[in-house]
């Protein structure tokens, strides 16, 4: 291990990326991991590291998902490079992509027009994703929603989650009508896409990507501007596919998301 300011980098990564000359950090760390940007003589990389068991399992999943999406799609996502574990932590190595998270870009935007354009591109980007064929082995018989409800029950039993048994029972009883499943991001918030040249260009934080219910992505996408008519319209103008109802929004954002 080589220690950077406050993060150890696995030796196996060093072999791959050369000497770390400098490290830097994102403005905002996520809730589930620590991210370090590694600047080496061979380029710029990201080491994402988790220590809690739940988050370590998500990181392993992200590694696999990213590798399969790299091979099977032309989506703009980081390139998977390596994954290692030791007794205490799991580490994912990937390419450093250009851009800043959409949340930061929205704060930095000076005019309403700039904000509207950003959110329009957020919608367009989601359409691209929902229209992309998933890796062949991702298509499965059991519905994504049924699987998520099982995972929600597991998370409720084994981890700390915001949801409770009463909410889970109601989600099981009040499932929305089936719709065609698509490739989904699975955590499509304004923190998990990167903006360059005033447009959303790149998807990150991919551990929950799956062949699933596109309404879940839409619900998480619009949660931060649900009551801003202009932004909501801009999003749907970019997205162009099916809008979700208030009930569907509540089911996915206020409901299912509480268990993850
Ligand atoms: N490949 C990458 N290229 C550029 N920046 C990245 C990359 N991966 C992560 N980042 C930066 O690090 C931040 C945290 O990364 P990420 O969202 O993957 O972590 P997380 O802990 O899983 O977040 P969450 O709390 O949403 O689960 C991102 O918001 C982004 O600023
Ligand atoms: Mg994130």
Q: Which domains does the chain have, with CATH numbers?
A: 2-95 (3.30.200.20), 100-259 (3.90.1200.10)
| Mutation choice for ligand 1 from 38, 204, 257, CB with most ligand atoms inside 8 A | 204
Q: Which two tokens stand for residue 223?
A: 């949660």
pLDDT averaged over consecutive 10-residue blocks of the chain (260 residues)? 64 90 91 93 96 93 98 98 96 98 97 98 98 94 93 94 96 96 97 97 97 98 97 98 97 95
Question: Of the ligands numbered here, which is closest to the C-alpha atom of 195?
Answer: 1
What's the start-to-end Cα distance of the chain, in Å? 31
What backbone torsions phi and psi does residue 78 show, to the nearest 5 degrees? -65, 155
**DSSP SS3 for 190:** coil
Q: Which pLDDT score, from 0 to 100, does residue 121 have?
A: 98
**DSSP SS3 for 123:** helix
Assess contact for 183 and 153: CB atoms under 8 A: no
Assess contact for 22 and 39: CB atoms under 8 A: yes
Assess contact for 11 and 1: CB atoms under 8 A: yes
Assess contact for 69 and 77: CB atoms under 8 A: yes
Alpha-carbon span 24 to 251, nearest angstrom: 39
Alpha-carbon span 90 to 202, nearest angstrom: 24
Question: Of the ligands numbered here, which is closest to the C-alpha atom of 37?
Answer: 1
Assess contact for 138 and 211: CB atoms under 8 A: yes
Q: Which pLDDT score, from 0 to 100, does residue 141 have?
A: 79
Name the closest-CA residue to atom 18, ligand 1: 205
**181-240 confidence digits (pLDDT tens):** 999 999 999 999 999 999 999 999 999 999 999 999 999 999 999 999 999 999 999 999
CA-based angle 202:17:33, to the nearest 5?
A: 55
Q: Which atom of ligand 1 is least distant from the CA of 50?
A: 21
Q: Which atom of ligand 1 is least distant from the CA of 97?
A: 3
List residues bridging with 47 in a β-sheet: 36, 93
Give the number of other Cβ atoms within 10 Å of residue 240's Cβ.
13
Ligand 1 touching residue 78 (CB < 6 A): yes
């Amino acid at each position: 291990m080589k220690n950077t300011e406050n993060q150890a980098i696995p030796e196996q990564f060093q072999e791959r990326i050369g000497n770390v000359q400098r490290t830097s950090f994102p403005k905002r760390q996520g809730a589930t991991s620590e991210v370090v940007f590694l600047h080496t003589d061979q380029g710029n990389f990201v080491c994402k590291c988790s220590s809690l068991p739940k988050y370590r399992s998500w990181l392993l999943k992200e590694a696999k998902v990213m590798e399969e999406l790299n091979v099977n799609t032309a989506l703009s996502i980081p390139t998977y490079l390596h994954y290692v574990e030791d007794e205490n932590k799991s580490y994912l190595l990937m390419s450093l992509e250009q851009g800043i998270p959409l949340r930061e870009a929205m704060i930095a935007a000076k005019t309403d027009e700039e904000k509207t354009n950003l959110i329009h591109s957020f919608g367009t980007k989601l359409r691209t994703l929902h229209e992309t064929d998933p890796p062949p082995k991702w298509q499965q018989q059991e519905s994504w929603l049924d699987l998520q409800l099982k995972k929600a029950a597991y998370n409720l039993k084994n981890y700390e989650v915001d949801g409770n048994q009463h909410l889970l029972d109601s989600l099981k009883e009040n499932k929305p009508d089936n719709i065609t499943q698509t490739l989904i991001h699975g955590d499509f918030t304004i923190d998990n896409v990167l903006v360059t040249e005033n447009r959303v260009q790149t998807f990150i934080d991919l551990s929950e990507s799956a062949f699933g219910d596109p309404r879940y992505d839409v619900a998480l996408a619009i949660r931060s501007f649900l009551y801003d008519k202009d932004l909501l319209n801009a999003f749907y103008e970019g997205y162009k596919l099916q809008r979700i109802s208030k009930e569907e929004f509540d089911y996915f954002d206020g409901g299912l998301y509480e268990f993850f």
